[in-house]
Structure 1
Amino acid sequence: MFNKKFWTSIIIGCLFCTITYTGVNAIPLDDDTRTVALNSTEEVVLTPEQVKRGKRLFNSTCGACHVGGITKTNPYVGLDTEALALATPARNNIESLVDYMKNPTSYDGAELIYDIHPSIRSADTFPKMRNLTEEDLFDMAGHILLSPKVLPSQWGGGKIYY
């Protein structure tokens, strides 16, 4: 009797944890929230699948250095909306972020930094970039642009004032 009750409670507990962890109780994002800039003139509505893939890919590929949209190597420049818009060229849309992931430049745009920043161009040095497709880059860029809408006070580390 004890054995049956014990294993039943373990199974129910594991099922509950699995359901909670995998986001069954997550609040779905509406179309307005999932709308991000495609380029300087057009917008695109990300599908729920793109949102999910973008988050997973970002966390596994970029998450070590950009946890929560913060840049560990330069915490003064995060992946928040303002910092992306002030970069040269501006990186506040999907097309510009995909371009950056292929050929990264310094924040002021003055020099290529693919030798020190993971990119498609430096995939030999940074193996996590090797198998990424154009669709993967698009979904990761969508995640970067969507995150400030979903986590406005947490994404990008907030502003630092002196």
Structure 2
Amino acid sequence: MKKAMVIINPTSGGEKALDYKEKLENKAKEYFEYVETKITEKALDATHFAEEASREQYDAVVVFGGDGTVNEVISGIDERDYIPKLGIIPGGTGNLITKLLEINQDIDGAIDELDFDLTNKIDIGKANDNYFGYIFSIGSLPEAIHNVEIEDKTKFGILTYAVNTMK
């Protein structure tokens, strides 16, 4: 039986990610007989869910979230004996990885365009025990990105990172 795991960060998509849950599940059911949805509640939940998907040999993982959630999923599926396909729905503030992969930035459009028959391989980097799919940085930038408030991201968008970097 083909199966997929959908991982949703509920604070994504302007804190409206759960509004897209049913549509995303229905899209996954076009390709997979069994679809399980997991909702993150805290840091590293997405990593643990992705580890479970790899361990239980899910055919695919679909992640709805921003760059941080996507990186958590990448960390969870890398270095496993089995690596499922990965679908990404951009729900973050910057969505850098989905922009680099030329994924539709409109949430509805990205869901509509999900196609698990078309796949591409991407390189994954590792620094210490952390994986990354698109960027590696040092200095004050990682701290500035990590220390933003969700409310500020919702209100000010990507400008929140610039302001936080100058603090």
Question: Greater strand percent: which structure?
Answer: 2
Larger RCO (CA under 8 A, 6+ residues apart):
1
| Alignment TM-score, normalising by the size of structure 1 | 0.26
When Rg is computed on C-alpha atoms for both structures, the one with the higher figure is 1
The TM-score with structure 2 as length reference comes to 0.26
